């Protein structure tokens, strides 16, 4: 889409502007002369101070993102909304063929088939902002698909790595929000502690890179220095290595293919040791549950995401124990029909049904 008076300046619509990714994205845009914010959206936080500080013409608190995006004519949509609420913006950008910088993994998990079809019709760029998927995008770019035998997603393991299932019953919200390597919004921080985040990322990788689930591995890597790896058929293994700082993948997506400089410190290799371990599926069952939901297909992943959102919300409000989050997700997955969604309306129904089932599970019998 044309950028008006300054032809080389890209107009960025930032949805989820007041969040952890949103704030870092504003910093990245402000540092780059060829990027300009044209629209901001939040869920409920007022935006007046941000729009004034950055000279942004269009802003919206909540509401339909399509309206804001039609009005503001962006070249890039950065979707940094949290949760299923991001689906509308993802589908709008993919259908319109506008570059989508995607942090909101939940939309691709819930709407994978609809999003892939919209992307094929729209023909625009889809650039992941999730650090693992940004790393995979970089390692896979220009590579013939038959040379790739699989990909590996790394998980930090979160604050409770090494604990057995029985030791997770009494963990507090405060302990859960103390992530060892990343500083992020509360929902994704809980997801990182339960490893639901890696389950969501597994499904996200399936849709982004068109890989079957059996070719996507998950390993625990406590320091989060290796973001992801690609296995090639000749036995080589390519790793993407760097400090855990979201400004790198945000900048990569917003300045692609330029790879603009960032203020992030180079990684010091002296004394660096790398360690990897298997996921403990007994203590952290949500990776295996996501894999099963992904393999089942249809609206299984949508139900996984919806139940997880309900359970995480209840945990943050003190209404559910940490170890019960996976139970709510498993029971919801067992109760939904999982039939494929033909359109957004079907998907919203499937999301609503899973939320109702998960919420019912929260009520005392
Ligand atoms: N944080 C990270 O480092 C990181 C890394 C990788 C991927 N991600 C992904 O990026 C997304 C955002 O994560 P975050 O950590 O930045 O979350 P966050 O700090 O909680 O921010 C969420 C943002 O979404 C907005 N929002 C909530 N509900 C909305 C709605 N219904 N409509 C429009 N906007 C809404 C919030 O607005 P209000 O302020 O008004 O509530 C806020 O701006 C998530 O999908 C997450 O998985 C995050």
With a pLDDT cut of 90, the percent of the chain lying above it is 96
Encode pLDDT of 200-212 as tens digits.
999 999 999 999 9
Q: How far is the CA of 94 from the centre of ligand 1 (A)?
A: 19
Report the SS3 class of residue 207. helix
Quote the pLDDT of residue 8: 87
Separation of 187 CA from ligand 1 center, angstroms?
A: 8
d(CA 120, CA 11): 23
> Is pLDDT at 2 greater than 50 in this prediction?
no
**C-alpha pair distances (Å), 282 with each of 160, 194, 279:** 13, 11, 9
DSSP 311-362: HHHHHHTTSS-TTHHHHHHHHHHHH---PPPSSHHHHHHHHHHHHHHHHHHH
Q: Is the CB of 18 under 6 A from ligand 1?
A: yes
Checking if the pLDDT of 6 tops 80, the result is: no
Predicted pLDDT at 3: 44
With a 6 A CB cut-off, is 130 part of the ligand 1 pocket?
yes
Q: What is the mean pLDDT of residues 242-264?
A: 97
Q: What percent of the chain has pLDDT over 70?
A: 98
Q: Which two tokens stand for residue 236?
A: 């080589």
Q: Report the pLDDT value the prediction gives residue 147, as an integer from 0 to 100.
A: 98
pTM greater than 0.75 (yes/no): yes
**pLDDT tens-digit readout, 278-291:** 999 999 999 999 99
- pLDDT of amino acid 363: 78
Measure the CA–CA gap between 302 and 289, rounded to whole angstroms: 13
Contact 69, 39 (CB under 8 A): yes
Top mutation candidate among 39, 81, 101 for ligand 1, by most atoms within 8 Å of CB: 81
Mean pLDDT on 261-277? 96
What confidence tens digit (pLDDT) does each residue in 174-199 have? 999 998 888 899 999 999 999 999 99
């Amino acid at each position: 889409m044309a950028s008006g008076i300054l032809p080389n300046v890209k107009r960025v619509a930032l949805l989820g502007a007041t969040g952890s990714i949103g704030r870092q994205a504003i910093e990245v845009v402000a540092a780059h002369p060829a990027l300009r914010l044209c629209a901001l959206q939040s869920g409920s936080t007022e935006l007046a101070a941000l729009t004034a500080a950055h000279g942004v013409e269009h802003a919206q608190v909540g509401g339909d993102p399509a309206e804001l995006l039609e009005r503001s004519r962006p070249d890039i949509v950065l979707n940094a909304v949290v949760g299923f609420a991001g689906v509308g913006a993802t589908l709008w950008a993919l259908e319109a063929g506008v570059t989508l910088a995607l942090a909101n993994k939940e939309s691709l998990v819930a709407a994978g088939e609809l999003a892939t079809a919209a992307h094929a019709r729209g023909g625009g760029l889809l650039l992941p902002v999730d650090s693992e998927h940004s790393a995979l995008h970089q390692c896979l770019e220009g590579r013939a698909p038959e040379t790739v035998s699989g990909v590996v997603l790394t998980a930090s393991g979160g604050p409770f790595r090494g604990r057995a299932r029985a030791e997770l019953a009494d963990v507090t919200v405060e302990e859960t929000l103390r992530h060892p390597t990343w500083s992020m919004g509360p929902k994704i921080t809980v997801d990182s502690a339960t490893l639901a985040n890696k389950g969501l990322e597994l499904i996200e990788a399936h849709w982004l890179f068109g890989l079957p689930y059996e070719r996507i591995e998950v390993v625990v890597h406590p320091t989060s220095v290796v973001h992801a790896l690609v296995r090639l058929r000749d036995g080589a293994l390519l790793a993407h290595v760097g400090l855990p700082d979201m400004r790198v993948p945000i900048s990569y997506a917003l300045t692609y293919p330029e790879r603009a400089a960032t203020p992030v410190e180079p990684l010091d290799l002296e004394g660096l040791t790398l360690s990897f371990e298997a996921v403990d599926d007994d203590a952290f069952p949500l990776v295996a549950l996501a894999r099963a939901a992904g393999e089942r297909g249809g609206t299984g992943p949508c139900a996984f995401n919806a139940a997880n959102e309900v359970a995480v919300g209840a945990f943050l409000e003190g209404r559910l124990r940490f170890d019960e989050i996976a139970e709510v997700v498993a029971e919801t997955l067992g109760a939904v029909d999982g039939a494929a969604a033909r359109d957004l309306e079907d998907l919203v129904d499937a999301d609503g049904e899973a939320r109702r089932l998960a919420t019912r599970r929260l009520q005392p019998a």
